């Protein structure tokens, strides 16, 4: 561990925890304790799970410590406790929970800064060496907590009752005029997919491998509220044509008629919601963190399932991109013959290139980040909304599970679809260009949106067309 910048690791862990506490600070304990929807945990459970994950990997794995709160390892185990059952668990009181988080963190920092690895020689086994190399295990803990930030924000968005008033807030840019809604040509040819460079990456991002794709077209911007509203008002949810068989089944079972959190003209807002300026009950609106806003036509449509995304694309005469198509359009630099870490280049994200890091508390309008365009010219591929792809979540060639199979390997297969690009609620480290998200096609509590493609390889299946 002598090559590690321990102070940088300490700052990283403490910065992540500061954000965790800032996100939950405006909420009283009953709201944190309540399970607002069955597919999301009580926020208290997420916080406890963050603590047990840190204790497992930084204390139990290296320090040999006993459990600091025996029983928590089962209480906050996601396999033992599926999401719908977590609201009935004997969750700890406020003081006990936050005391536990503080205790684990203080012990982890002591272990890092004073004792871990000093004078112990090389690690005893290759797995331990890999966990320590470059500070991998500490970044694993940091990014795990950051991913739960987004889960916490999903639960806050699902709340009914009082408005969530964030302790921190940053406005997004407001482009003067709406940009052109066109498609970008991505020529045929090979590119290198996956994480190949130094730095942290999850096992499912590796190994980098070459893929040769036919030429295709892809939307310059994510699909907007106005574009999706045209689908809704054209009877898109009533027509059978655009929907695959599985999509029709989902639509019929749920009786969905618009994206989650949209309010149709005349539809009353949930009790406790607050109207924002311009929110006319005679028009389409959306509810965001307890406040009802007029539907902004230029914002990306958000909170749609894979089935809705697929049906919209078919209605528009397009299709969803495959995961390789998404990555080539977003990251490949044809002149340099390499993938960029970010669509715009090698520099890390900032507020001029992408809407990330949670503090906007919503997506930005199309055209807000011209400095964030990819080499091919697609905009806002990183941030704003996770973008559904038409690909199942599967291993790359040469995949090896590390450091535990439960992160990726057990989810591989046709049950999950891949989403790419991060959302406004994603922390920058987690939104790296090669990061792969996945979820069931029926999920829409996530901050999910759409970018369409056309041309390219022939795709088959109900509700999809190739043009």
In the chain, the number of structural domains is: 2
Q: For 201-231, what is each residue's pLDDT tens digit?
A: 999 999 999 999 999 999 999 999 999 999 9
Contact 62, 176 (CB under 8 A): no
Rounded to whole angstroms, the Cα distance separating 52 from 100 reads: 9
In a domain, 202, yes or no: yes
Give the residue-averaged pLDDT of 39-58.
97
Q: For 139-186, what is each residue's pLDDT tens digit?
A: 999 999 999 999 999 999 999 888 999 988 999 998 978 898 999 999
Tell whether 57 and 183 lie within a shared domain. no
- pLDDT of 467 higher than 70: no
Contact 374, 343 (CB under 8 A): yes
pTM: 0.94
Q: For 307-362, what is each residue's pLDDT tens digit?
A: 999 999 999 999 999 999 999 999 999 999 999 999 999 999 999 999 999 999 99
Three-class SS state of 143:
helix
Residue 53's domain spans which residues?
Answer: 6-158
User: Where is the domain boundary, 112, 133, 158?
Assistant: 158
Q: Omega before 410 cis (within 30°)?
A: no
Contacts for 270 with CB less than 8 Å, ≥ 6 apart: 160, 287
- Out of 116-130, 158-172, 274-288, least confident range: 116-130
| DSSP track, 182-220 | -EEEE-SEEEEES--SSS---GGG---EEEEE--EEEES
pLDDT band at 3 (very low <50, low <70, confident <90, very high): low
Residue 113: CATH number of its domain:
1.20.120
In a domain, 240, yes or no: yes
Measured in degrees and rounded to the nearest 5, phi and psi for residue 18 equal -60, -40
Contacts for 168 with CB less than 8 Å, ≥ 6 apart: 22, 359
pLDDT band at 462 (very low <50, low <70, confident <90, very high): very low
CA dihedral 198, 378, 172, 43 (to 10 degrees): -60
pLDDT of the residue at 459 = 39
- Greatest Cα-to-Cα distance within the chain, rounded to the nearest angstrom: 71
pLDDT of the residue at 114 = 65
Residue 383: CATH number of its domain:
3.90.1580.10
Q: How many CB atoms lie within 10 A of CB 94?
A: 12
């Amino acid at each position: 561990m002598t090559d590690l910048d321990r102070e940088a690791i300490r700052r990283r862990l403490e910065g992540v925890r500061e954000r965790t506490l800032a996100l939950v600070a405006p909420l009283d304990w009953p709201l944190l304790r309540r399970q607002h929807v069955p597919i999301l945990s009580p926020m208290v459970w997420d916080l406890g799970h963050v603590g047990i994950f840190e204790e497992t990997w930084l204390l139990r794995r290296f320090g040999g410590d006993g459990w600091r709160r025996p029983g928590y390892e089962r209480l906050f185990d996601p396999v033992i406790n599926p999401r719908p059952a977590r609201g009935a668990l004997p969750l700890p009181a406020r003081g006990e929970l936050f005391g536990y988080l503080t205790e684990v963190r203080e012990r982890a920092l002591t272990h890092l800064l004073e004792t871990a690895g000093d004078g112990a020689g090389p690690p005893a086994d290759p797995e331990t060496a890999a966990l320590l190399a470059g500070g991998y295990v500490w970044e694993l803990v940091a990014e795990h907590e950051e991913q739960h930030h987004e889960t916490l924000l999903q639960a806050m968005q699902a709340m009914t009752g009082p408005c969530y008033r964030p302790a921190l807030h940053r406005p997004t840019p407001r482009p003067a005029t709406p940009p052109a809604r066109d498609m970008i040509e991505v020529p045929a040819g090979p590119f290198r997919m996956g994480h190949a460079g130094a730095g942290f990456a999850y096992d499912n991002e590796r190994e980098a491998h070459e893929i040769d794709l036919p030429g295709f077209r892809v939307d310059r911007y994510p699909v907007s509220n106005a574009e999706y509203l045209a689908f809704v008002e054209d009877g898109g949810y009533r027509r059978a044509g655009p929907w695959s068989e599985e999509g029709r089944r989902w639509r019929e079972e749920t009786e969905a008629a618009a994206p989650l959190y949209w309010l149709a003209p005349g539809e009353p807002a949930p009790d406790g919601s607050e109207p924002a300026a311009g929110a006319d009950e005679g028009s389409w609106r959306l509810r965001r963190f307890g406040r009802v806003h007029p539907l902004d036509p230029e914002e990306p449509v958000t909170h749609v399932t894979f089935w809705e995304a697929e049906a919209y694309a078919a209605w528009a005469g397009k299709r969803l991109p495959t995961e390789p198509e998404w990555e080539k359009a977003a990251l490949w630099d044809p002149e340099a013959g390499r993938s960029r870490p970010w669509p715009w280049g090698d520099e890390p994200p900032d507020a001029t290139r992408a809407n990330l890091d949670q503090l906007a508390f919503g997506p930005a309008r199309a055209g807000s980040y011209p400095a964030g365009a990819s080499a091919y010219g697609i905009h806002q591929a990183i941030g704003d909304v996770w973008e559904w792809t038409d690909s199942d979540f599967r291993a790359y060639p040469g995949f090896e599970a590390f450091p535990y199979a439960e992160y990726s390997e057990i989810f591989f297969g046709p049950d999950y679809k891949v989403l790419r690009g991060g959302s406004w609620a994603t922390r920058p480290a987690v939104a790296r260009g090669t990061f792969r998200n996945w979820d069931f096609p029926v999920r829409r509590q996530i901050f999910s949106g759409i970018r369409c493609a056309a041309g390219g390889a022939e795709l088959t299946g109900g509700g999809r067309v190739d043009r």
